Amino acid sequence: MDNELLFSKEYEQFYKMVEESAAFKRFCADAFGEDFSQDGFSDLKQIDRILEYIPRQKDVHILDIGCGNGKMLGYLQKKTGAFVHGFDYSESAIKTAQKLFDKNADFRQGNIGEIDYPEESFDLITSMDTMYFAPDMTAFLKQVMGWLKKGGVLFVGYQEGDVLPKTSNSGTTVFAEALKKLGIQYKVEDITKETYDLLKKKRETALLYQKALEEEGNKDWFDLLMLQTDCVTEPYDLFAEKMARYLYVIRK
């Protein structure tokens, strides 16, 4: 079994687990400030940064690339009243999203680089830890920018050191190079230290929920949480040599 297929199967199993696990819901709320069924690095502090880029007007449309089960979009919709759109390659995640959010929402199963939307459809597009799955970063970025309305914003949470190797700084990431290639201006914030602190909290919270997860039969997912956060058992300086996280804001 190749790594891509293995990851896909694990991802499907993850979304089946989070739908059923009361312990994981409580873990997410305590570790991240809100239960968005997180399998990564986005806490409420990061998600709340998105709110300032959502227009306060009627008929606002938001797209989330790699939306999972839609809980993050549901939070943004509750805060702003926007119509939310999302796609993800996980059938389990999309079925849950469609069930949870059936009003002013459009959730589709699809892959990066394959799914498409009409030009100038969205006021805001978010991508939290998904852009690096694009088969061709430059081509996909160009497609995404086409989906944005004039004046719209692309908000990207971008991690290096796991899916992609760490480059020297935010201006030399694969994503930044694609932006430069297309002549697109951007703002970027380095939140590596913030991420280190978040992962420490994630690890500490997971340990508090170890017994509850194991009693549910979810020991494998607890073990994965330990693996995901093993990097913060070392000092921050060593962590930062291997990992980096940035928030990019691009206005069309």
- pTM passes above 0.75: yes
- Extract the tokens encoding 156: 């990207």
- Extract the tokens encoding 7: 């990851």
Domain count, the chain: 1
The SS3 of residue 90 is coil
CB 123 within 8 A of CB 95: no
| 247 CB-near residues (< 8 Å, 6+ apart) | 46, 49, 155, 156, 157, 158, 188, 189, 191
Between these two residues, 194 and 102, which has the higher pLDDT value?
A: 194
For residue 4, pLDDT over 70 is answered with no
Taking only the tens place, the pLDDT of each residue in 38-83 is 887 889 999 999 999 999 888 999 999 999 999 999 999 999 999 9
The percentage of residues in the chain with a pLDDT greater than 90, rounded to a whole number, is: 80
CB 135 within 8 A of CB 174: no
Taking only the tens place, the pLDDT of each residue in 206-232 is 999 999 999 999 999 999 999 999 999
Query: Given the DSSP bridges, would you call strands 244-251 and 148-160 parallel, antiparallel or unpaired?
Result: antiparallel
CATH number, domain of 52, equals 3.40.50.150
Q: What integer pLDDT is reported at residue 162 of this predicted model?
A: 79
Sign of CA dihedral 201, 206, 212, 216: positive
Between these two residues, 118 and 170, which has the higher pLDDT value?
A: 118
Mean of per-residue pLDDT scores for the chain: 92
For residue 3, pLDDT over 50 is answered with no
User: Which structural domain range is residue 96 located in?
Assistant: 3-251
Run of H or E residues at 61: strand 61-65
